[in-house]
Chain A
Amino acid sequence: MSIRKPIPRFTLFHVWLLGLATVLAAGVVAAGVVFRRGLVVTHLTDLVPWGLWITIDLSSIALSAGAFLLCAAVYLMGLTRFQPVARTATFIGLIGYSMAVLTLLLDIGRPDRFWHALVFWNPHSVLWEITMCVTLYLAVLLLETAPILGQAEWMQRRWPGLATRLTGVHRLAPALAVAGLGLSLLHQSSLGAAYGVLKARPLWYKPDLSVLFTASAVVGGPALTALISMIAARLSPRVHVDDELLDRLAYLIGWGLIIYLYMRFWDALAMSYTYQPGRSEGLGLLTSGPLSFNFWVGEMLLGAAIPIVILLKASLRRNWLLRAAALAMVVGGVIAFRWDTNLAGQLVVLSYLPQDIGVRYTAYVPSLIEVISGAGVIAYGLLALTLGIRYLNVIDHRMPHEAEAVHGARPAPSTTSEQALSSAE
């Protein structure tokens, strides 16, 4: 607020950056342990081969869904006023997808063979389709974010030629929006289908799991974008948001939640009729077992019921704190849904013995190495986001109209943050 030039000092911003850097460093060390010693350092087993990392992976992709949705809204549906939000969402999308790729590298037993799916095709495999879609969509996101880098002031000052080229990519925005919509609708649902096609896992085996994954991503992605925009605007004088726009988006998220909850309701209710080995026990884990707190409180109460009320009632929604809390709850609900779905299907071990229709239960608690390396990935995401907001003007709702074709451009996550860092020196 003061007019005099402030002396550089240790601000809350630096504390935040330092904290993230510390977690990131710890994560890098933990990842080193994982790569050197192998997955034996995890608590994953042959009964629960997919755990915390898969949840981070699924959640980052789901919460990146704002990018394709808002780009489609702006460039395909003509809702141009959401363009500045789409720009933010695209940047978040790029970070989210890069987080997913990093987590997958941790999770697969042979990270040196990450490229195999691109060369050895099995079009029958949902996971192959996801790999291809994610790879291609990452390319789309890189192109969509190129103009963000090109528009950065420091970029235009230092490399004006390159900046012009990067900014010029915005001409492709409508085509990229089409590609992004197609690729995203394919793999967002396929992430659910990866579980949903497994007949041996009765809790998962249903077509609507793919629809539920898409529906929850459709509410979670924009919710995260709106939440980050609101918080950043509170904390940084460089961030300029149009609160009316975010208010409108939050309202739409509220309706999206109702649709999602409606589908979840029928999904759960339909499973509760008649006993089916494996499925009934899996549902029991959610409704009354070890995952019940996550399910009832995390997914239903905080993840859906309360935010629906806040986001749809104008008087509540206009309260900054309530709206931010509601959006955070939506984000948390999406993550809880991924965690619960992944685990509930694996903790029930269905017998294949003919005379034994019973089930056994197993358990999974991530190891410290899994937690630290996972936290490192999240810290990387937050760090990239912070630097993007700080140096790439990612959240600016005053973007002039001449930039209207630039809904979502933004640089590659790692290079961006590195360049941002170096330029900040």
Chain B
Amino acid sequence: MESQKIGRREFLKGLAAGTVALAGLGVVRRPAPASEETPASSYKWVMVIDQAKCTGCGYCTLACRAHNDVPPDISWNRVIAAGQVGGKKVFLPRPCMHCEHPPCVEVCPVRATYRRADGIVMMDYSRCIGCRYCEVACPYGARAFNWDEFTGPNPAVPTWGQPEVPRRPRGVVEKCSFCFQRIDRGLARGLVPGVDPEATPACVVACPVKARIFGNLNDPDSEVSQLLARSPSYRLREDLGTAPRVYYLPAREETVSTVSSRPAPLARQEVTR
């Protein structure tokens, strides 16, 4: 499978090089190395979301909006009502899945979206041409296009945090980045993402019921590794072969009943459906 893919890539590259040479365009830069070719990282960032704990308060969405300066009409992180278990409402918070085989990265014509060695699917907002192919390709609806310019103050700031990344221009696609800026700055300061709040995605830190756990799956002692080793979990649309790095611990009757429902009227409007 992997070798087949590379075979096709090499074929297309050769083909492209040939056709370009034909047109006499010799000034084209080599593309950055593809995600599969990048060296393995010691980090494998994953997020675990415990549906038994999530109360659908929407704090994560708002914290995300503030820290990433996301406009009010876009949610990088959506909380979706997902039926009932044991008489209690169940929710499904949906960040970007940071797939191991991301369809968006494959289809982007300009490599504006790419996969880092640690697995974070990134956006290069200065390269995106706004064709929205990634949006059409994403199975999770995790991408949003900036149909309009986001001007003026962000209503989520400062209540839910301070922006840590530049605001995106009109005409590009944006999405959740696992708060790469917090991870990178935290690691540089010797902090541990998933343990130290400053190095952990804003949604994880903001969750009042600790329904989100973040960490390094390459570290067998990390909380995410421990949790996934002992609890049954699932990922969204595993049949597509995207291999998401967001794991869900399902709400079961015996787990959901032990958690008290904490209403959070402030942010309830963030829940979809």
Contacts and interface: CB of A to CB of B under 8 A. Distances in A.
- Chain A complexes with chain B: yes
Interface of A: 38-40, 42, 44, 46-47, 49-50, 107-110, 113-114, 116-133, 136, 139, 179, 182-183, 194, 197-201, 346, 349-350, 352-356
A121 B29 CA distance: 8
Candidate in B25, B105, B109, B236 with the most chain A CB atoms within 10 angstroms: B109
B245 to A, nearest CB: 15
B129 A113 contact: yes
Contacts of B149: 38
B268 interface: no
A198 B137 contact: yes
A352 B107 contact: no
Contacts of B92: 353
B80 A353 contact: yes
B16 A129 contact: yes
A50 B110 contact: no
A49 B16 contact: no
A181 to B, nearest CB: 13
B28 A197 contact: no
Top-6 shortest CB links A-B:
A109-B130, A109-B171, A200-B139, A49-B132, A128-B109, A40-B148
A38 B138 CA distance: 23
B146 interface: yes
A109 B110 contact: no
Given A109-B130, A179-B22, A183-B19, A120 B110 contact: yes
B46 interface: no
B107 to A, nearest CB: 5
30 contacts: A42-B147, A46-B135, A46-B145, A50-B136, A108-B129, A108-B130, A108-B131, A109-B129, A109-B131, A109-B132, A110-B130, A110-B171, A113-B129, A118-B28, A119-B28, A120-B29, A120-B111, A120-B112, A121-B29, A121-B111, A123-B16, A124-B9, A124-B105, A125-B133, A128-B110, A139-B23, A198-B107, A354-B234, A354-B236, A356-B83
Nearest to B10: A123
Contacts of A126: 107
B110 A197 contact: no
A124 B83 contact: no
Contacts of B128: 109-110, 113
Contacts of A40: 147-148
B137 A200 contact: yes
Secondary structure class of chain B's binding surface, majority of residues:
loop
A183 B18 CA distance: 12
A127 B145 contact: no
Contacts of A118: 25, 28
Interface in B34-70: 34
A120 B44 CA distance: 27
B161 interface: no
Given A117-B110, A128-B109, A354-B236, A39 B141 contact: no
Interface string B82-103: 1100000000101000000001
Contacts of B19: 132-133, 136, 182-183
Interface string B136-173: 11111101111111000000000000000000011111
Nearest to B16: A123
Contacts of B112: 116, 120
B12 A352 contact: no
Candidate in A120, A349, A355 with the most chain B CB atoms within 10 angstroms: A120
Nearest to B74: A46
A73 B191 CA distance: 68
A32 B106 CA distance: 33
Contact of B28 (A108, A121, A136): A121
B103 A132 contact: no
A107 B132 CA distance: 9
Interface string B103-133: 1011111111000000000000001111111
A125 B109 contact: yes
B155 to A, nearest CB: 19
B31 A123 contact: yes
A43 B237 CA distance: 29
A122 B109 contact: yes
Contacts of A114: 129
